[in-house]
Amino acid sequence: MAIIKNPKFIILLYHKIGICPKNAKFPGLYVTEENFESQVKYLKNHGYAFLTLSELKALHFYYYHDSNANNDKYNVNVSEGDKIPNNSLLKLNLINEGGRYVAITFDDGSRSVYSNGLNIIKENGVKATVFMVSGLVGGVNDWDIKNGENKDEMLTVNDLKKMADCGMEIGAHTKTHPHLSRISPDAAYNEIFESKNALERLLDIKINFFAYPYGDYNKEVKTLAEKAGFWGACITKTGIVKKESDFFALNRVAIRHNTNLFKFKRKIFKVKLFY
């Protein structure tokens, strides 16, 4: 297979799947089931391959950092401890002939992702990554409630395990959802490292990726995420993943309550064209 020289790696950012309440303080966090499903089907129908973030990193390495990408003896990491030869990437249907890739991510760990989104994900054969606030597993969105938002149930341990069993990747999103640049480095590292550690204990899986709450990070916070043992981390700045992209500041495309299919198509077109 010929290697596409400039593959398009797009990471989408979602939060909650469901109807936005009229009194919601942050309506942009909601995407209806109808819109989510139409967006997923649009991507499928236009030849995009869905990836977890660990798979995205493996393929990024395959395209850009392996000088002999067709050498079957060369290995890339897909998950901790696993080495997958390049020829196996083809067998796993990870390589897309058109070089179009998309990774769906959900920040926070709202239970609506499980109750309203999982069936859509399963029925369409979609892979996704959910960033969970580890200290609030089975609880509620304390940080948002303090800011005047409606109460929202968070994913439970059982929910997370079922999602992982369906092929979804679980990532970490700190213990309590603070602004990491506004607290001490020691406190920030504790939030970052302990979120990874707690989720790995709870779920008995490796947690490879992190998302900065509020997209709030700086050079020092980024260094702390790498020190904690993550493979990469997501921000909220708009863009795609390029050859030179910093894997500890991965750009995403935010999908909001008013992103209907027309606006979604426009977002995808613009991000590929201008970023």
Q: Would 3 be classed as within a structural domain?
A: no
Q: Would 114 be classed as within a structural domain?
A: yes
180-207 pLDDT, tens digit each: 999 999 999 999 999 999 999 999 999 9
Determine the pLDDT at residue 71: 41
CA distances from 29 to 115, 116, 257 (A): 16, 14, 7
Q: For tokens 């979120």, what's the residue?
A: 195
Percentage of the chain modeled with pLDDT above 90: 84
Q: Closest Cα to residue 76, out of 86, 87, 90?
A: 86
Which residues span the domain enclosing 157? Answer: 8-263
Instruction: Report d(CA 120, CA 187) in Å as an integer.
Output: 38
Instruction: Report d(CA 18, CA 16) in Å as an integer.
Output: 6
pTM of the model as a whole: 0.92
Q: Would 218 be classed as within a structural domain?
A: yes
Q: Mean pLDDT over residues 222-233, rounded?
A: 98
Q: Would 224 be classed as within a structural domain?
A: yes
DSSP at 22: T
* CATH code of the domain containing 229: 3.20.20.370
Lowest mean pLDDT of 76-80, 85-89, 110-114, 146-150, name the range: 76-80
70-90 pLDDT, tens digit each: 444 334 444 444 444 455 555
Dihedral of the alpha carbons of 240, 242, 245, 251, in degrees to the nearest 10 = 0
Lowest mean pLDDT of 6-10, 220-224, 233-237, name the range: 6-10
Number of domains in the chain: 1
Instruction: Report d(CA 185, CA 171) in Å as an integer.
Output: 21
Instruction: Characterize 126-135 residue by residue with b for buried, 16 or more Cβ atoms within 10 angstroms of its Cβ, and e for exposed.
Output: bbbbbbbbbb
231-272 pLDDT, tens digit each: 999 999 999 999 999 999 999 999 999 999 999 999 999 999
DSSP at 133: -
Q: Which two tokens stand for residue 79?
A: 């998950």
- For 145, other C-beta atoms within 10 Å of its C-beta total 12
19 and 34 Cβ atoms separated by less than 8 Å = no
Mean per-residue pLDDT of the chain: 91
The 3-state DSSP class for residue 182 equals helix
Q: Would 35 be classed as within a structural domain?
A: yes
DSSP string, 222-274: HHHHHHTT-SEEEEEEE--B-TT--TTSEEEEE--TT--HHHHHHHHHHHHHH
Determine the pLDDT at residue 241: 97
Q: Would 273 be classed as within a structural domain?
A: no
21-79 pLDDT, tens digit each: 999 999 999 999 999 999 999 999 999 999 999 999 999 988 887 644 444 433 444 44
Determine the pLDDT at residue 74: 34
Q: Would 1 be classed as within a structural domain?
A: no
The 3-state DSSP class for residue 98 equals coil
Tell me the pairing of strands 83-85 and 16-17: unpaired
* Between 122 and 94, the higher pLDDT residue: 122
Q: Would 2 be classed as within a structural domain?
A: no
